[in-house]
Amino acid sequence: MLYAVWLISIAFFIAQFPKLSVAFEFEKFFADDNEDKVFFEKHVEKFGYDNDYLLITIEHHPSVFDTEFLTKVENWKNGLDSIGGLVGTQSIFDLKHLIKSPYGITAIPLIHSQDSEKLESDSSRIMSHPLYSNFVAKDASSLIIQLNHKHFKSPKNEQVFFSSLKSSLIQHKIEDYRLVGKLVAQKSFIDHIRSDFSIFLGLGILVTIILLLLIYRSFNIMLLPLLMSLSSLIYLLGLMAIMKIELSILSVLIPPIILFVSTSDAIHLVNAYRQNEEEDFLKRLKGAIKKVFSPTLLTSITTALGFFSLLILPTQPIQELGVFAGIGVLIAFCVNFLFGPLLIRRNYRRQSIKLPYKLWAMKLIKGRKAVFLIYFILVIVAVVGFSQLKSDAYLLKDLPENSQVRSDFKYLDKVFGGSKPWEMAIMPAMKAEDVMDYNYLQEALKIETYLKDSFGIENFFSPLDLVKYANQIDKGGANRYYEFPDRSDFKSQKSIRNLLFNRGIANAVMDSSGQYARIAGFIPEWGSNDTQNRNHKLEAFIDRKVNEDILKARITGTTYLIDKSNESLSMELLQGLLLAVFMIAIALAIYFKSFKMLLISLIPNFIPLLFTAGIMGFMGVPLKLTTAIIFVVAFGIAVDDTIHFLGAYKKQKAKSPLWRIIKTFKSAGLAILITSILIIGGFILFTLSSFATTFYLGLFLSLAMLFALLTDLILLPLLLKNVN
């Protein structure tokens, strides 16, 4: 009957797999209750999402000011209207050069693509103008077009838009181009996540099979841990598919976690059965289950509690990781004890691997002072490394060095001054009537000057550009008049500004009420730490120099939220780890009924984390979301072996501390060794990835598991020596 339930349920959950999907949305990592996010959402209601764009640069050597080239690009741009989801474009083809004439304001094309005679004067005007020149590289070898698109809510719509855009470029034979934007970065991340998920899950299973065969030298024995881990994984992934949970950069960690945890549970069951000396099959099986059921239940509960602690973090992808990793651990326990005994055979050979437990235990006790001294020195060194750990994040550094996407973003940063959106909301305060109040604009000018001279942002657009443009129009259209006017000129130019408002030019930087505006531009990939430092200095400048009774300013936008989220989430993950430790400590205290045992059980699991953090600090690997999560995962898995060791120690009846340790090694040592080898072998495969996130997860989880194994086999027995 159980066989039928097992097979039918497996088939049902496999049938759900087509519903699984991979997604990576930056916005999902913003904390829902964060005041910065609340402000940003109100900002979005007025101007839309600041990262709903694609920047395309098109190169032509020696100069883009070539009639044939410009005609081809303009024809392509004009045909973009047929692409669903496109909201508008910004380029030298869209801008008009406005001049004041006796008949009013006249608009002439900024560039005459098909007129070589006018093109020379057009190029001179564009390259020398503070606003127009933003759309052409300084050496005139490339131009940039901004494509604004809808805020897509489904990956399918994004793909359709992206594919249509690529097709239009091919159709018009535009080849030397670069595409940059959120859609490009997200697609690249999703492709790497999907690729790594498929490759390393498959390799992990293959390595598990090979290692189990090498260890047990029996296909039948290898089959039990393998089938239990695969079944647990199928149930969990099927459940995620039914609940329409998308695999993110964090949730792809769940399958290897469940694969290794489930394999560990099965190995402890198999080893307990092989160690049992009963002749009767049922008694032998019952004895094995009785021996490992309680410790395995405890490890499953503690590991699940550790992952469930992530629910306190107000970020959806982290919560999903915590919930489904925790559920997966409990599923693995149920699967192993429901279906595992069905696969155990009478003819399983008794444990044949003989390890020098007695010799090892005696050497440990004899050299305990040296062991404690070495660990003390290593802890000091690790603390020094840990002190060098800093929070920082470079989004595109996770992509391979030879990635075309990474190269394209770097090109825009170098040639056009930036590829990441940067925003600041600027609002009239008590002593200013509206955005076009002269006193308000003077305060905004202070911010603009700081942004150009000190902040490092090259290209941005604000209400000041409208005022400067109106001044240029009023004084004949020459580029030199694109400047902030004096008060008398400002008053006389009101009708020109109203004309610009009627043309909709102001919509990008101020709302219809005139009570809310923004400064919007692009910055290079400085890293979250550097960007945050620049933001803090800007805020300090505003506090000192800008009259808050006239103008109030607040940095916002997706870049700002991503950088702040990275710093806060890294710290919150470490807080989640402390909560996990507290919850696990309660479970252990209840099980062991001893405060001393509780402390002993936690020490061997803190030390590996400290060692890992120390190495990260010495290597200069920054603390960010995808590296901070390593500590939570490592602690959740590492505590399993410690509990199995302590559970075995608790059951020993020998009076001598030495013999209690020897018998504990004999009872649980081999299973701990095997499971740790499997886990380390599985995670070390991740270092083969060219995707930095996967590489670092594999490297540091492997190191953490290695340190945990060594600590359980070296330090933990010495800590237990005087515990009855």
Summarize pLDDT for 426-472 with one digit per residue, the tens. Answer: 999 887 778 899 999 999 999 999 999 999 998 889 999 999 999 99
**pLDDT value at position 202?**
83
Q: Are residues 39 and 143 in the same domain?
A: yes
Instruction: Check pLDDT > 60 for residue 82.
Output: yes
For residue 246, is it within any domain? yes
Q: Are residues 294 and 381 in the same domain?
A: yes
Residue 32: band (very low, low, confident or very high) from pLDDT cuts 50, 70, 90? low
For residue 384, is it within any domain? yes
Tokens of 707: 């340190």
3-state secondary structure 674-707: HHHHHHHHHHHHHHHCCCHHHHHHHHHHHHHHHH
Q: What is the mean pLDDT of residues 217-242?
A: 88
Instruction: Check pLDDT > 70 for residue 27.
Output: no
Q: Are residues 433 and 536 in the same domain?
A: yes
Residue ranges making up the domain that contains 546: 420-523+526-556
Q: Are 351 and 275 in contact (CB under 8 A)?
A: yes
Residue 723: band (very low, low, confident or very high) from pLDDT cuts 50, 70, 90? low
Picking from 515, 534, 556, the residue at the C-terminal end of a domain is 556
Residue 24: band (very low, low, confident or very high) from pLDDT cuts 50, 70, 90? low
Q: Are residues 154 and 213 in the same domain?
A: no
Q: What is the mean pLDDT of residues 407-431?
A: 91
DSSP symbol at 622 = P
Q: What is the mean pLDDT of residues 621-646?
A: 81
Higher pLDDT, 286 or 256: 286
Picking from 501, 536, 556, the residue at the C-terminal end of a domain is 556
Give every CB contact of residue 349 below 8 A, 6+ residues apart in sequence. 218, 221, 274
- Cα torsion 537, 543, 546, 552: sign: positive
Which H or E run contains 153?
Answer: none
Q: What is the mean pLDDT of residues 292-310?
A: 84
Residue 686: band (very low, low, confident or very high) from pLDDT cuts 50, 70, 90? confident
Q: Are residues 584 and 536 in the same domain?
A: no
Q: Are 478 and 435 in contact (CB under 8 A)?
A: no
Instruction: Check pLDDT > 70 for residue 352.
Output: no
For residue 5, is it within any domain? no
Question: Up-side HSE of residue 38: CA atoms within 13 Å toward CB?
Answer: 3
Instruction: Check pLDDT > 70 for residue 23.
Output: no
Q: What is the mean pLDDT of residues 106-120?
A: 85
Q: Are residues 343 and 460 in the same domain?
A: no
Q: Are residues 244 and 372 in the same domain?
A: yes
For residue 503, is it within any domain? yes
Q: What is the CATH number of the domain that holds 700?
A: 1.20.1640.10
Dihedral of the alpha carbons of 708, 713, 715, 716, in degrees to the nearest 10: 90
Residue 722: band (very low, low, confident or very high) from pLDDT cuts 50, 70, 90? low
Q: What is the mean pLDDT of residues 631-635?
A: 82
Instruction: Report the number of distinct structural domains present in the chain.
Output: 3
